[in-house]
Copies of this chain bind each other. A is one copy, B any other.
């Protein structure tokens, strides 16, 4: 395997010799991870990392032995990454990954199925459909519900908005995919809360509507979409002659983790004949827990739902799904081609390219299925409940602290707070110093203009002791900078 002069041994094969090469190579790849730092990241600065990586010769004329290549990548790359499984890595919805998923990635890459057409992924196509059918049922959607895997929550939301745009055009008798946006599109609006993810603005940008077409509805102090504000907004838009083509609820906002009141929003969507999309990228996993599931009441009323497996299902990137209540909605998207999805295939063939904005697409469904079957529902529920309890613990400690103040009560797995007497610059400095010294990868954001710090708890192995230490680190850092920065 290490004789790079013979490329013939480096093309994956499945006979016993080929599998043995894979086993050995996998062992070397695992060894390369031994350089992963003990903390959340190394102490190297951005410039130092830049200089280090610049020394890599990307493509030498003659190859280098695989073991040596992997070892070098260990010392240069993995040693200077972030470590999502470290308890002090709490900035983002960025999970440590599950072992069954990680080892499945090896098989996914070796088998290299492509999900665009059945003749590139016969069983894989059925696995993806089977997984998404299961998820649709778990959500409580009607029998015709199904979906497609996408590269992330942004892609899932963009796909949902693409379908909503086509539905609005169809009501006018316009084929927007063929002819482009009709003049009426200038009056189309998408509604979501002011805490919704920016991917809705990006979807509107992408679709030619512009991000100004996204109207954000004010939220309550807790961060939920305010129903009175929603009604006022809807009334105002109607008065102006504007059309709400999509009403979007968020189940788990990016910062506060808040879940919008979906039953009530669904009723408004129906009244206005608007597509009801739920971005459940964050909290969709709560479906797995008897205790947490009631928080998702109304999810079953959605026309489409975004679920990110690479968040609270602990899948390595990327693994997201868009589920639609009526699979026929994907016909709004379908384009036949001569070499793919021709429409004259063997009986029973499904070409998933007809549901997707991608063409070639990896078999991410396999790792999700491997993980779900290995962990089982009860384990996954316990892990979720553990994280919610840990987040509540953190919030209680923040509340007790004389130096910190909660911005809102936690709703899922994030805890947002600030430090009375410290301004935005001071909070930024705290976050950046902890990051630069490799002590904590801490979140930082703004809630309604108020600068704040953020814990996002994604690792169910994190303990209350860990939380105490994180809070102590932050208060120490604030104290150290207090004199010069106090506003």
Give which listed residue, B30, B202, B314, contacts A26 with CB less than 8 A. B30
A326: Cβ under 8 A from any B Cβ: no
Complex interface: chain B residues within 8 A of A374 (CB) = 4, 10, 63-66, 69
Given known A77-B127, A112-B84, A339-B443, contact A19–B31 (CB-CB < 8 A): yes
A359: Cβ under 8 A from any B Cβ: yes
Complex interface: chain B residues within 8 A of A380 (CB) = 7, 59
Contacting pair B26 A359 (CB below 8 A): no
Q: How many copies does the complex hold?
A: 2
Given known A23-B26, A114-B317, contact A377–B60 (CB-CB < 8 A): yes
> Which one, A268-276, A294-302, A344-352, A400-408, is touching chain B?
A344-352
Contacting pair B162 A206 (CB below 8 A): yes
A110: Cβ under 8 A from any B Cβ: yes
Given known A26-B23, A60-B376, A69-B373, contact A110–B33 (CB-CB < 8 A): yes
Contacting pair B127 A64 (CB below 8 A): no
Contacting pair B122 A81 (CB below 8 A): yes
> Which one, A207-215, A388-396, A466-474, is touching chain B?
A207-215
A327→B69 CA distance, assembly (Å): 29
Give which listed residue, B56, B83, B346, contacts A45 with CB less than 8 A. B346
A416 and chain B: residue at smallest CB distance: B339
Contacting pair B383 A97 (CB below 8 A): no
> Which one, A150-158, A226-234, A475-483, is touching chain B?
A150-158
Contacting pair A63 B110 (CB below 8 A): no
CB distance from A178 to the nearest CB of B (A): 5
23 contacting pairs across A/B (C-beta < 8 A): A4-B376, A12-B102, A14-B34, A22-B33, A25-B100, A26-B26, A44-B122, A52-B126, A59-B134, A59-B380, A61-B376, A65-B374, A69-B373, A78-B123, A81-B113, A81-B124, A105-B109, A106-B106, A180-B204, A181-B181, A255-B339, A308-B360, A345-B432
